[in-house]
Structure 1
């Protein structure tokens, strides 16, 4: 599904309540009252679609990237929050529990009984807390799986409360067509939760893996290798990632997304590059061989599928090397004849993963591996500094550089710098593929 079609579908869903309201031909109210209702209904539609955006559906994230999907999810959630907070202050009509006999269409009054008032207040108070807890997730004194459970429960409470409020107090939502629209959208939202927390784990349960080895490959960085115990091996494309659960039930909330560093040609074995960082990865080196593991479906659009280039440029920062290693290994397995350059940035040489393998890779025909260190030790003979515009201009100076395919993965600041540099050197935007390995 093309990204434009996805975005058009999203807009259509969010404006449908406004269209269904306009078709009712109810007597007009003051402009601010109509704006208030419009903001409330638009926010409600956005909130219900948010369930689908966060549900790891490859039909969506596979086209635009999981990082873009989640950033859009976060942006529109904040937009909906503003709409929700503002809309009650715009009403000029009186708040009455029951409509006046001479005002059956609610042209001059708002029909808020005790129930709809309570559910409206619940959503109005809970949604800001919900969004703030998401924005400042890393500062909260909770483990990620606790936060995730709270996030799911909170989302359901808000969705159900807003549904009741809209159906009971909404002037336009009393219409059967619009009421049906809300109920269908709510059902889809709740179904997406069931898919994420029940149906998808059931699929994982049919494909258990076990840890075959855990070895240190760089400073605070480890390789975790898996193989299936039974069932089909995970299908993935070079450059993708998967959610990994170690030593728990497939229904556990203790999971993390990690980029796959092995090539599809290595299936059924799967390898990951994991850096010690948060609660779950701090002790990754202590994981014992034989530990059961569960893998979700592969996600991500940092792949070569459907893309062409006279050469392949892989540009990585830190642990962002993982998906690019998968691509490099697959190209090697396929004996791809195109020239390839791997530009790899780190702070120190001790952070370089698979140093021996990368050195061997650079010995292949038409293949070059270039390391860039920002804080090298004395005696370092390679490039020094950052992967910036100057470095990009020097490394990719060939006449056909604009026809190459550039695949980027790393910290946000590096990605922005590299993308700007490539565009400034004339590389078409469609030849640049980027994905962050961390996003807020």
Structure 2
């Protein structure tokens, strides 16, 4: 009976995160009065929105979420964290190409011109933050993949990873809110609340001196 209840609690914890970071963005998407585009463009937009939302969820799929790691083994949480990180950072890395590739089907702007404009336009703060976020994201992915070759202590690397994540989330959220085609007031509120809560959890974990009850990594 105890094992069944424990399993149900694990499922409930993970399901609640799924509803928050997949269900809510989908709901906001379908309820939003956004201009209709081609199926390809809308599919790429929705994929990007869900990818960014799940990267926000990374704050809550780590030791920062003490309530979760009390119910679910830390090793299992880390497996989910790594899977989401590698898969959906890869999706976000393709985001600029999601903008460029459809230009092959559009005669208004050539893919080459769209790419040059994308990487050389600095007249809006949103684009600058987008480039900052993209650069930091690459650093996060490379340092995560080659962590064991960096010869850093785990605690040092973890702290470095955490603060880079804060920089990425702040820059990426600013970029999304200011330039995102689907960033209405509802999406903006969702991104800001999720990001702020995640950063609070992270800073609480790394700045507040841990007590004896703090859960250790396994």
Both proteins in one fold, TM over 0.5: yes
1:4 corresponds to: 11
User: 2:65 aligned to 46, 57, 63, which one?
Assistant: 57
Between Structure 1 and Structure 2, how many residues are aligned?
194
Counterpart in the other structure of 1:416: none
Task: State how far apart, in whole Å, the 2-side matches of 1:168 and 1:55 are.
Answer: 31
Q: Equivalent of 1:89, from 97, 106, 120?
A: 97
Q: Which residue of 2 aligns with 1:117?
A: 127
Matches within 5 A, 1:148-159: 148-159=158-169
Q: Which residue is 1:216 aligned to?
A: none
Relative to structure 1, the CA distance from residue 113 to residue 197 in structure 2 (aligned partners, 3 Å threshold; closer, same or farther) is: same
Give the alignment of 1:232-311 within 5 angstroms. Answer: 295-298=212-215
Residue 193 of structure 1: aligned partner: 202
**Does structure 1 retain, via aligned residues, the 8 Å contact 2:64–2:202?**
no
Distance, in Å, in 2 between the alignment partners of 1:118 and 1:11 is 31
Q: Which residue of 2 aligns with 1:177?
A: 186
Deviation of 1:159 after TM superposition, in Å, equals 0.3
- Please give the residue correspondences for 1:93-112 in structure 2 after superposition, counting only pairs within 5 Å: none
Return the alpha-carbon distance in structure 1 between the equivalents of residues 168 and 205 of structure 2.
18
Q: Give the RMSD, CA atoms, in angstroms.
A: 2.6
1:59-78 mapped onto 2 (5 Å cutoff): 59-78=67-86
Unaligned runs of 5+ in 2: 1-7, 110-117
**1:299, distance to aligned residue in structure 2 (A):** 5.6
Name stretches of at least 5 consecutive residues in structure 1 with no aligned partner: 97-109, 205-294, 301-436
Based on CA coordinates, which of the two structures has the bigger radius of gyration?
1
Tell me the equivalent position of 2:37. Answer: 29
Q: TM-score, normalised by structure 1?
A: 0.41
Aligned equivalents of 2:25, 2:123: Cα separation in 1: 22
Higher relative contact order (CA 8 A, sep 6+): 2
Alpha-carbon separation, structure 2, partners of 1:171 and 1:146: 38
Matched residues in 1 for 2:97 and 2:74: separation? Answer: 36
Q: 1:399-438 maps to which residues of 2 (within 5 A)?
A: none
SS in 1 for 2:93: helix
